Structure 1
Amino acid sequence: MMALGPLGFAAPWLLAAGLALPLLWLLLRAVPPAPREVEFPGTALLLGLADPAPVTRHTPWWLLALRLLAVAAAIIAFAGPVWRPQPQAAGDDDGPLLIVMDTGWAAAPGWAEAQARARAALDRAQAQGRPVALFLADGQGGRGQGLVFGTAADAAATLRAASPQPWETRYPADPAAMLADAPARFSTLWIADGLDHPGRAPLLASLAARGAVTVALPSAPLHSLSVQDGARPSLILRTTAPGALPPGALPDVLAMGPDPQGIPRQLARLRAAPDSDPATATISIDLPPELRNRITSFAVEGVASAGAVVLADDRMRRRKLALVGDARATEGQHLLSPLHYLRQALAPSTDLIEGTLADVLQASPDVVVLADAAPGAQAHELAEWVAQGGLLLRFAGPRMAAQPDLSQDGLLPVRLRPGGRDAGGALSWGAPRALAPFAADGIFAGLAIPADVLVRAQLLPEPDPDLAARTIAQLEDGTPLVTRDSVGAGRILLVHTTANAEWGNLALSGLFVAMLERIVQSASGVEGAERAETAPADTGHWAAELVLDGFGRPRAPEGLAPVAAEDFAQGPGPLAPAGIYASGERRAALNAGGAMVRADWQGATVEAADAAPGTQLGGWLLALAGLALAVDALGSALVAGGRRARAAA
């Protein structure tokens, strides 16, 4: 690129054609316009008379100027003029060119700007005849195993088909393998998203060893949105340029979901507190349960990026849970009541209601918990509620063990032996039992079991061929701790020990809270019965129900195979894009947004973030040349046509 003040030229050697303009002037001036043909029968009578309008012997000066203007504008246009071009790095105009583009979710907000920067570089390389390679850092299709330097036209076709991905930018794990077939020397243009990603520093060092590296950064700050887990989940809004935002100028977060008619729209607008830290702001989700449970996603207003979208899964929904049990505990005996431990574990993450079974069923809860209590006269009504999609969670206890008709209770997942089993009393046949590890494909997968959690007593089931399939948690001796069975669209779960410390210390541990949260999160409720019927079985794999593209737009998961639990735990990637996934009754969201760390580009030339790529003038000059030729054609017609043609014009 040659610059003359604020004007630059991509192909300055074409300007040499301007030296032919004086010769063109002489040629055009020497060639007169075509003569006019005049037919007059009395020509002989005009002999000797002077012609008042003689045919000109030279082209008029203004017509010459128009033609020279058209030719000069065309010459300059083909030279690729650029108004105020970006300064080029040393060595940028020599040898092959490699263009590296970050294509993770952070590149989405400035994708149009990044593509324009890459196209400008490809146009210059094509004009200079330089070989070009384009590397998209998206981690797909084995890219990074080798670079192929070809024509700028091939790279431009790849660039047009490229798009940002709904996961973090991914660089090759082995830069040496990527550069194995590359030329010994080449220059690099790295169009980055501005963030530090794993493998960036080794790749930068490898590229800098081969030639000059120029880094183009986005001009606008980046925003990301993520979930802060807890009893009351909240949103974390982050920005990479907090100094560029005045206090209280953080964008709003929109809560999206279906309205009562099922039409997706904005349900609520959430704002960070005015005194929030612009770099990391916490946004509470203080919404009524009915409204909150309809939310399907949260999105940063005005930011088109998968990292600025949080999909709502089981963690975000607040269930309505009914507690039914023995309420006769006095003020001094509340620590002996099973309901006390259930309240402490479930109150932070659910909306609790208490009362008799007949009363709570009128409130249409998602989950009903019976703590060592029998359904009684409401057994039929409770069974109908379960069949419609409800989740019944029952806990064993002394009163259940003493029931004479326990085998006739139809609201149990397994048939129970009367009396129970005591593993730590005077007449016991063994010590208290610890919990066995949870199945990797079960509802409690991934939960850590403390070594000091022991169960002293339990209710044992009768032998049954389906007992193993219905057991979702067991003790170390293989006896069931939690069993489950489906009834219609709903489910019944039984914890074979007490909800207090009477039969063991499970209720005193954090594991008790985590297990209850998993059980409650799996409740679909009566409204979600249809989804529960079609949910895939627990297989240790997660199947995508909905995924996002790099711009945060939802789309169908076409061609995506189920993801193994190990890969799913690694977060969004080529095998598991950001989206909603299901495994049995569980639904979980993979969200792309998270912490952002600014990258340090030591050893590279960093373009100013607000530097404009320059204004291309070639199109305007070609339009000017075409206009001058059109005026030339009209002027030639006027000169050739005489007074009558001028009057017609």
Structure 2
Amino acid sequence: MIFQAPWLLAALAVLPAVWLLLRALPPAPRRQVFPAIMLLRGLHAKVTEAATAPPWLLLLRCAALGLMIVGLAGPVVPRQAADDALPGDPLLVVDDGWAAVPGWPRRLAALDAVLDRAARAGRRARLLTTAPGPDDAAPEAGAVMSPGLLRGMVDTMRPMPWGTDRAEAARALRRLAAGGWRGPVVYVTDGLAGPGDAAFATALAAIGPVRTLRAPEATIAALVPPSQNEASRNDGSQNDGSHNDGLRVALDVLPQPQPRQWTVRAETADGGVLTLVPVAVPAGADRAAGRAAIPVELRNRIDRLVLQEMPGPAGVRLLDEGDRRRPVGLIGVAETDTPLVGPLFYLRRALAPTAELREGSVAGLLARPLSVLIAPDGALDSPAARQAVAGWVRKGGMLVRFAGPLLNAVPDGALAGAPDAAPDDADGETAAAAPPRDDLLPVPLMEGERQLGGAMSWGKPEHLAPFPDESPFHGLAIPADVTVSRQVLARPGPELADHSWARLADGTPLVTHAALGAGEIVLFHVTSTADWSDLPLSGLFVGMLRRLTERAAGVETPAGHAMLAPYMTLDDAAVLGPPPPGARALAADAFGRAAASAAHPPGLYGPRAARRALNLGDAAGPLAAQAAIGRTMSLSGAARDIVPGPDLVAAGLLLLVADALLTLLLRAGRLGGKRGRAVLGLAVLLAGGPATSARAAEAVPGAALETRLGYVLTGHADVDNVSREGLQGLSDYANARTSAVLGHPDGVVPGRDDLSYYPMLYWPVTADAKADPARSAALNAYMRHGGILLIDGQGVDPAGPEAAHDDFAAPAPGSLAALRRMTEGLDVPPLTRLTDRHVLAHTFYLLHDFPGRYDGLPVWVAREGDSSNDGVSPVIIGASDWAHAWAVDAQGDTPYATMPAGDAQRVTAYRFGVNAVLYALTGNYKADQVHVPALLRRLGE
């Protein structure tokens, strides 16, 4: 133990004098029965000497004074060895990038401990953070200041939502060393390796001895884009009409020797959770992936992916329109599944990573919503099929067609926007005598095919020309090895250039388009296979199809070098907000490759129609542990020293209070000089009193001191946890919007716990529920004395068939039988269906529906007019699963989706819960208010 003011210990020398001074104690008063007044003349005053204080009281006073002296001397119990003391003015170096977000309070506590030791040693300190500042300022060492002032800065520090720049930090250290600064270095690392680590370690060692504080088990991970293999199977073996691969997620993790389990939440823009994706990380692995089956309609509502175990921006992946999987229909034709030569073979592989693929006939595909319909050569030979597709296109769809020998067999096409036009042929005969005309073409076509290269042609395959500015393909890089050897030609005309999105080097159209009603028709003048061109073999084919899919979804595709300004960025808590001062615009073609930084923080960029998301995991790369620098110790080893001074002073003051009380008792003669009784009283005062008070406090339930809701424990940890979270969320909601003051909910066991403290009990139905006479008797007594029992079937209507409410609800078998078993022996009154006329529908909010997690299920209450319990229904029975709708987890999120109306349905569920709570607290007060006019009229009569 060390003392901050050791000179105060000299006061201990006066304790013997205190002993002598405090020995004197005024004598106890003597009781005298006075006779007649004349007898008083013979009485003479006796000189009495002061009584001596008992030794135990003197010891008490000396102990009180000694404790106060020692406490004021500032004792400190170090938690580190003496050789860990700082030999000079320390330099604090802190990694404050995104990887430091987990355990950030522990890092600040370790820095406080270092500053405490520096203050006791009379040192000064300075601070260097390794992440660039919000204004994109490079890391730079701060000024030298006292530990007290520096502690104020450290305690307000927050990590940055981007990575560290140890290379710039090394330059700052070298400048510091060149300026003559020498001293110990305390480095608080995030444990993550990064570029420039070697130079950084050398620069630290040049300052002085390095002590590195590291978390014992760093939990670092980042959500990353799924790779091609993780995003799609792409094996060509599936032919069931659907290529939905669900929601796939991937994360990079810092390898650990033991396996771990992570969970990714898929959230909507309003905070609702659509699904949870479990991700298993094997021991020693640095990457893992997971998948969840989810319909594309729900998948496209996902706004962000959140890694539950990793706080901060690295655990969040924002999704933009490029991440949406658009439903794309592929019209099947003969030899569809032939590998390498099938008309859909390359289309599947190009679209599978970014689109929801569906294959089938025209009628089957158009029966469901589609963004794009793709027709290879020969897919629209039937006039009925063309008519159905034309109607779909006029309503806003996009048809993408590919040329081929079968398409060129039709002698004449017509501009899709003018289906009634019939151009004359060269002999003056009208096209009315020709075979049926294909109206689903953007431009008229010439007969025959154009052969470019080959044994029968003098020409050679043509390369592609740059895409025009107005083309949706503008900005895509054109590979030099992509050539076209055969094509169908468009009939020349003055408007042909306006309908061309892509051309060959000789100016002939490669991709043409035209509007048809509210939709659009696009034609590739080559086949969807590699027969006529190398285009399907290139990455350009993938980019072109993706641009068309985005265009069909109404997404504006920015040019490759267009600069997108930051719209909203993530902070260290992964909350979107205004961008920091140093944030700058980023080129559109850099997304997916650029790393998040102070200049380009993670977040959303660009206007609404062309918004792009920049995430930390887009270019993070594999995560690795940082090599040891200097002497490494755990963060817990830098805990603050124990300072017992205030406690010692407080103990001394308590002993002085005890001394004053005992002195009063001695002066009053209450102790009668019996020292044993005095010692016993002192022991009771100092030891027995607090213990008795604590036992008395424990004997009083918390529900007796504040209003709480209760839930019946079922023995299932998951069900009981949801009940607790649900009632906690309802209590918080009621506290924020009503005058009710509710504490945290309690789990109770009827028959064991006293239920009289709880105005309402929530009881969920479980499939294994059994009858219990003791429980039924306790609940009957509870309801007879005014308590309300809310029974929740969790998706099973107690008055309906034993079936799920919808596709999302899957109650356990036997749920209705379990409800009957668990309510056996309960005195349930005659029930009626709850309507908006019941007092429960207007206790606080005016309600017409009473949903929970599910909507549309009835709620049952006691029949009105029941005289028992003053007309208040003692039981409410429903199956809407209210606890899941009310539940709020430790992070303040609502982890369970409400279906089908989402957040609006959750608000109504909260309002029903508030009405039920106030109904339980106020009884039929609202019902009395309804009858006030009738009561007044009767009084008037």
TM category (shorter chain) comes to: 0.7 to 0.9
Q: Over residues 240-296 of structure 1, what are the superposed CA-to-partner deviations in whole Å (9 max), with x where a residue is unaligned?
A: 3522x2xxx41232232249xx761251332428xx444235324252443544444
Q: Which range moved further: 347-356 or 411-420? A: 411-420
Q: Cα gap change, 1:15/1:605 in structure 2, threshold over 3 Å: closer, same or farther?
A: same
2:277 paired residue number: 269
Q: Distance in 2 between matches of 1:47 and 1:112?
A: 77
1:280 paired residue number: 286
1:201 paired residue number: 198
Q: CA deviation at 1:97?
A: 1.7
Q: Over residues 413-440 of structure 1, what are the superposed CA-to-partner deviations in whole Å (9 max), with x where a residue is unaligned?
A: 9963542994727999964322346799
Q: Cα gap change, 1:131/1:498 in structure 2, threshold over 3 Å: closer, same or farther?
A: same
- Of the three residues 246, 256, 277, the one matched with 1:242 is 256
Q: Would the aligned equivalents of 2:130 and 2:169 in 1 still touch at CA under 8 Å?
A: no
Q: Distance in 2 between matches of 1:606 and 1:299?
A: 32
The DSSP-based 3-state class of the residue aligned with 1:114 is helix
Q: Which has the larger radius of gyration?
A: 2
1:563-642 aligned within 5 A: 563-565=586-588, 568=591, 569-581=593-605, 585=610, 587-592=612-617, 594-602=621-629, 604-607=630-633, 609=634, 611-614=636-639, 616-618=641-643, 620-636=644-660, 638-639=662-663, 642=666
Q: CA deviation at 1:185?
A: 0.9
Q: CA deviation at 1:137?
A: 1.6
Q: Cα gap change, 1:615/1:448 in structure 2, threshold over 3 Å: closer, same or farther?
A: same
Q: CA deviation at 1:129?
A: 3.2
Q: Which runs of 5 or more residues in structure 2 are unaligned?
A: 232-247, 420-438, 672-680, 686-941
- Of the three residues 386, 406, 417, the one matched with 1:409 is 417
Q: Does 1:377 align with 2:387?
A: yes
Q: CA deviation at 1:99?
A: 0.9
Q: Distance in 1 between matches of 2:183 and 2:469?
A: 50
Q: Does 1:123 align with 2:96?
A: no
The DSSP-based 3-state class of the residue aligned with 1:228 is coil
Q: CA deviation at 1:205?
A: 1.0
1:254 paired residue number: 264
TM-score (norm. length: structure 1): 0.78
Q: Which range moved further: 181-190 or 170-179? A: 170-179
Q: Does 1:454 align with 2:483?
A: yes
1:512 paired residue number: 541
1:133 paired residue number: 126
2:524 paired residue number: 495
The DSSP-based 3-state class of the residue aligned with 2:80 is coil
Q: Distance in 2 between matches of 1:161 and 1:332?
A: 63
Q: CA deviation at 1:56?
A: 6.4
Q: Which runs of 5 or more residues in structure 1 are unaligned?
A: 1-6
Q: Distance in 2 between matches of 1:100 and 1:232?
A: 39
Q: Over residues 334-377 of structure 1, what are the superposed CA-to-partner deviations in whole Å (9 max), with x where a residue is unaligned?
A: 97764454245445764433344444221112321133576832
Q: Does 1:394 align with 2:401?
A: yes
Q: Does 1:81 align with 2:108?
A: no
Q: Distance in 1 between matches of 2:518 and 2:118?
A: 64
Q: Would the aligned equivalents of 1:414 and 1:462 in 2 still touch at CA under 8 Å?
A: no
Q: Distance in 2 between matches of 1:146 and 1:500?
A: 61
The DSSP-based 3-state class of the residue aligned with 2:291 is coil
- Of the three residues 11, 14, 27, the one matched with 1:20 is 11
Q: Distance in 1 between matches of 2:414 and 2:105?
A: 69
Q: Distance in 2 between matches of 1:405 and 1:482?
A: 15
Q: CA deviation at 1:49?
A: 1.9
The DSSP-based 3-state class of the residue aligned with 1:180 is helix
- Of the three residues 158, 162, 166, the one matched with 1:163 is 158
1:478-557 aligned within 5 A: 481-482=510-511, 493-520=522-549, 522=550, 525=553, 532=555, 540-544=562-566, 547-551=569-573, 553-557=574-578
Q: Cα gap change, 1:156/1:614 in structure 2, threshold over 3 Å: closer, same or farther?
A: closer
Q: Which range moved further: 35-44 or 355-364? A: 35-44
Q: Would the aligned equivalents of 1:255 and 1:295 in 2 still touch at CA under 8 Å?
A: no
Q: CA deviation at 1:133?
A: 1.6
Amino acid at match of 2:256: P
TM-score (norm. length: structure 2): 0.56
Q: Cα gap change, 1:598/1:133 in structure 2, threshold over 3 Å: closer, same or farther?
A: same
Q: CA deviation at 1:303?
A: 2.8
Q: Distance in 1 between matches of 2:293 and 2:501?
A: 34
Q: Cα gap change, 1:474/1:160 in structure 2, threshold over 3 Å: closer, same or farther?
A: farther
1:211-226 aligned within 5 A: 211-224=208-221, 225-226=223-224
Q: Distance in 1 between matches of 2:552 and 2:66?
A: 79
Q: CA deviation at 1:189?
A: 0.6
Q: Would the aligned equivalents of 2:118 and 2:124 in 1 still touch at CA under 8 Å?
A: yes
Q: Over residues 105-157 of structure 1, what are the superposed CA-to-partner deviations in whole Å (9 max), with x where a residue is unaligned?
A: 22111211111111111222233332222222222231324542223233223
Q: Cα gap change, 1:570/1:589 in structure 2, threshold over 3 Å: closer, same or farther?
A: closer
Q: Cα gap change, 1:615/1:147 in structure 2, threshold over 3 Å: closer, same or farther?
A: closer
The DSSP-based 3-state class of the residue aligned with 2:88 is coil
Q: Distance in 2 between matches of 1:88 and 1:223?
A: 32
The DSSP-based 3-state class of the residue aligned with 1:285 is strand
Q: Distance in 2 between matches of 1:575 and 1:610?
A: 31
Amino acid at match of 2:90: L
Q: Would the aligned equivalents of 2:213 and 2:635 in 1 still touch at CA under 8 Å?
A: no
Q: Distance in 2 between matches of 1:213 and 1:35?
A: 65
Q: Cα gap change, 1:410/1:642 in structure 2, threshold over 3 Å: closer, same or farther?
A: farther
Amino acid at match of 1:164: P
Q: Distance in 1 between matches of 2:267 and 2:127?
A: 40
1:188 paired residue number: 185
The DSSP-based 3-state class of the residue aligned with 1:570 is coil
- Of the three residues 416, 435, 447, the one matched with 2:464 is 435
Amino acid at match of 2:624: V
Q: Would the aligned equivalents of 1:86 and 1:611 in 2 still touch at CA under 8 Å?
A: no
1:4 paired residue number: none
Q: Distance in 2 between matches of 1:165 and 1:226?
A: 19
Q: Does 1:51 align with 2:48?
A: yes
Q: Cα gap change, 1:79/1:621 in structure 2, threshold over 3 Å: closer, same or farther?
A: closer
Q: Distance in 2 between matches of 1:492 and 1:36?
A: 114
Q: Which range moved further: 304-313 or 49-58? A: 49-58
Q: CA deviation at 1:86?
A: 5.9
Q: Does 1:424 align with 2:445?
A: no
Q: Would the aligned equivalents of 1:73 and 1:621 in 2 still touch at CA under 8 Å?
A: yes
Q: Would the aligned equivalents of 1:297 and 1:311 in 2 still touch at CA under 8 Å?
A: yes
Q: Distance in 1 between matches of 2:462 and 2:265?
A: 46
Q: CA deviation at 1:393?
A: 2.9
Cα root mean square deviation, aligned: 4.6
The DSSP-based 3-state class of the residue aligned with 1:406 is strand
Q: Distance in 1 between matches of 2:565 and 2:513?
A: 23
Q: Distance in 1 between matches of 2:537 and 2:255?
A: 45
Q: Distance in 2 between matches of 1:180 and 1:493?
A: 62
Q: Which range moved further: 287-296 or 622-631? A: 287-296
